[in-house]
Amino acid sequence: MSDVIKDLSELRLSYEQGELHEAQISDHPHLQFLNWFNHALAAHLHEPYTMSLATANAQGRPHVRTVLLRGATEAGYDFYTNYDSQKGIDLAENPFAELLFYWPSLERQVRISGQVIKISEHESTEYYLKRPRDSQIAAHISTPQSGRIASREELQQRFYDLQQQVGEHGELTKPDFWGGYRLIADYYEFWQGRPNRLHDRLSYEKQDGQWVIQRLMP
């Protein structure tokens, strides 16, 4: 097998699924997001609630990963994780982050930026108790998240041991090191692919408490 990537310059598509005009969008970016998100749900896309989460530590080194959107209101966009994960460490040092939703079959993407806060213990507990039981167990044993482990077998043994300890109906409480975050948006960008790379890009930026819409160069 060759260790050289072939020339990729000819691998390209023409984006022709839709358009994005100022006259067609909502004055409020969250409503515009819900419009596109509900369209993605109705199209039965594979996990349209997945999003890339970009954080950076105090030194400015970025980290990006895929997480699941678990709440979307005008107040913000929620996801859950281990507070001791790289995400949690970054957000403790630098509380700003960005989300990216990409729906390739619709030729659309949405960027949402802002400050991230922890959600309340009550909300985190409420969500934790709604999770499938095995996911509750996984939250307990997968710590420290991103920490090194000797083998897959060790991870599976930890899971099995706790599974046997609590049984089918034993109570599991939310771990103290696990919970939710909420990104409070101050910037949105909606991207619609167009032919000839003349893509539509519209941004919403908060200025003096008002959302200002601007068209961006592709």
Residue 142 gets which letter from DSSP? S
Residues contributing to the annotated binding site for FMN: 65-70, 80-81, 87, 109, 145-146, 191, 201
- Which parts of the chain register pLDDT below 70? 1-2
Within a domain: 161: no
Residues contributing to the annotated binding site: 12-15, 65-70, 80-81, 87, 109, 127, 131, 135, 145-146, 191, 197-199, 201
pTM for this one? 0.91
- Within a 10 A sphere around the Cβ of 84, how many other Cβ atoms? 16
Within a domain: 191: yes
Within a domain: 140: no
| Annotated catalytic residue 197 | yes
Q: How do residues 40-51 score in pLDDT, each as one tens digit?
A: 999 999 999 999
Beta bridge partners of 114: 97, 185
Within a domain: 182: yes
Within a domain: 69: yes
Tokens of 23: 């006259």
Within a domain: 51: yes
Within a domain: 72: yes
Please name the residues in contact with 87: beta carbons below 8 A apart, sequence gap of 6 or more: 53, 55, 63, 65, 67, 81, 181
CATH number at residue 31: 2.30.110.10
How many domains is the chain built from?
1
Q: What is the pLDDT of residue 85?
A: 94
Q: How do residues 120-170 score in pLDDT, each as one tens digit?
A: 999 999 999 999 999 999 999 888 787 888 999 999 999 999 999 988 777
CA–CA distances in Å: residue 39 to residues 11, 22, 108, 215:
28, 18, 11, 22
Residues contributing to the annotated binding site for substrate: 12-15, 70, 127, 131, 135, 197-199
Q: Give me the catalytic one of 182, 194, 197, 215.
A: 197
Q: What is the pLDDT of residue 1?
A: 54
Within a domain: 3: no
Domain extent at residue 202:
17-128+177-213
